Amino acid sequence: MSKRSSVAVIDYGAGNLRSVQTALKFIGAEFSIASNGEEIKSASRLIFPGVGDACAALSILRERGLVQSLIEYYRSGRPFLGICLGCQIIFDYSEEGQTRGLGLIPGVVRRFPGEEGLKVPHMGWNRVDYPEAAHPLLRGIAGGSFFYFVHSYYPVPQDKSVIIAETEYGLKFSSGVAAGNLAAFQFHPEKSGESGLKLLANFIAWKP
Amino acid sequence: MLAKRIIVCLDVREGRTTKGIRFKENRDVGDPVEMAGRYYAEGADELVFYDITASAERRKIMIDVVERVAEVIFIPFSVGGGIGSTADMRQVLLAGAEKVSVNSSAVRNPAIIEEGASLFGSQCIVLGLDAAKDEQMASGYRVFINGGRTPTELDALEWALRAEKLGAGEIVVNAMDADGTKAGYELELTRLISKSVGVPVVASGGAGNPEHLYEVFTNGAADAALIASIVHLGSYSIDSLKEYLQKRGIPVRR
């Protein structure tokens, strides 16, 4: 059971969630771990973190019957933050393992082409620009700030209006998307120094 | 544009940071947790901890260091030294490290790269490659293990390419001839490997001044550079290095 003010961090048995926990602890946020449908259902705020294989993650979620829980949580209107893999599974489809996603935001996830001089994974610190006024989760963080990325796939939303952050890596891709109570980022706020901690604090205070 | 990373390297023995020259003559330079917090505040892009503890208690001591580091810094860090199994990897990652680095153990058992990558993802698995010039090898460089003490029959470039194929997500190229000399990175070896593999390459060994970093990011084609002595011994601050690089047109995070 999570308290009204606390945040639940999804644990599906694969993602490295300790770094998210230590960052939440550092900013003084209460948190719990959600690893089953009941815990997701009772959460007042939810973070889906993780790195790794989208296909493997989705098959674990399906096995544990968590796909429906996550869809229902999203529909309930409560704050939902996706990080890295959590920014990929929310789309309809991922090229990684050619897998179907949760379909919360229309769009697909593609692999970086890995052209001459561009290494894959896209690993390291890159600038994050805002196409419009800063989303509530990005307030207080200057546009063009650096965040830490490590990924080989990137989201391509169907509807451009969901894009809240963009980054250049050979091509311009969506590094942040939002739809109502859901916001998701391809970078790792928990590994992005002060800017990342500010984003997490904004999420804790967010009233979508 | 992706910034070039400056990674501060801390060699940890019995829970203390040490610094050697050409892999020898280690001296105590401080508490790793306190140093990690300081480098984080100063703008390091990433940290790497190499466990060079020899005692039987090594794993316990290092896990304790990793757990305490994870509570004070919010940038990525990796841990290497004595990672011999996927169980070792899991322990270090669960303690809060972002990546694990394998070196001698991967030469002895290359499958550890593949197993680690499939369990934790390629982005977690770093290959540490110690190499020195050797004209007998096809690429001109031979791989060494056991902290540079034992030569192998592996060619440095061939090993880097094989490790990438097995699933290494990043390669740290440690030029033994340059390590701790402050005479500059081994540009030729770094460039050779960086231009041949598709994953990021980190140059290691030899940083003595800001110009060396500039050279390795341009002529050396490195994606990131490891530094140790030049910041541990107080010659330069991380920000002064980045300021220099920025002025010379290198994209850095400041």
**Cβ–Cβ of A124/B2 closer than 8 Å?**
yes
What is the fold, at CATH topology level, of the domain defined by A7-205? Answer: Rossmann fold (3.40.50)
Domain ranges of chain A: 7-205
- Interface pTM, i.e. ipTM: 0.92
**What confidence category does residue A186 fall into, taking pLDDT thresholds of 50, 70 and 90?**
very high
Helices (H), A17-140: 18-26, 37-41, 54-63, 66-75
Residues of A with CB under 8 A from a CB of B: 16, 18-19, 22-23, 25-26, 51-53, 114, 119-127, 146, 148, 150-152, 168-169, 188, 190-194, 196-197
- Written as six digits, the tokens of B29 are 């330079």
d(CA B168, CA B207): 25
**Chain B CB contacts of A194 below 8 Å:** 74
Inform me whether the C-beta atom of residue B41 falls under 8 Å from chain A C-beta atoms.
Answer: no
Report the CATH number of the B5-247 domain.
Answer: 3.20.20.70
- Cβ(B183)–Cβ(B58) under 8 Å? no
**Cβ–Cβ of A123/B1 closer than 8 Å?**
no
B223 is catalytic: no
- Written as six digits, the tokens of B76 are 């990525």
**Cβ–Cβ of B3/A121 closer than 8 Å?**
no
- Cβ(B179)–Cβ(B133) under 8 Å? no
Domain ranges of chain B: 5-247
Give the pLDDT score at B21: 57
**Chain B CB contacts of A193 below 8 Å:** 40, 74-75
d(CA A94, CA A99): 5
- Written as six digits, the tokens of B35 are 């140093």
A188 is catalytic: yes
Question: Among all chains, which residue has been given the structure tokens 């790195």?
Answer: A51
**Cβ–Cβ of A150/B71 closer than 8 Å?**
no
Pairing of strands A163-169, A153-157: unpaired
Between A154 and B27, name the one with better pLDDT. Answer: A154
pLDDT surpassing 90 at residue A14 = no
Distance from CA of B234 to the nearest CA of A (A): 23
A59-92 pLDDT tens trace: 989 999 999 999 999 999 999 999 999 999 999 9
pLDDT in tens, chain B (254 residues): 899 999 999 999 888 888 765 555 677 888 999 999 999 999 999 999 999 876 777 788 889 999 999 999 999 999 999 899 999 999 999 899 999 999 999 999 999 999 999 888 888 999 999 999 999 999 999 999 998 899 999 999 999 999 999 999 999 999 998 877 788 999 999 999 999 999 999 999 999 999 999 999 999 999 999 999 899 888 899 999 999 999 999 999 99
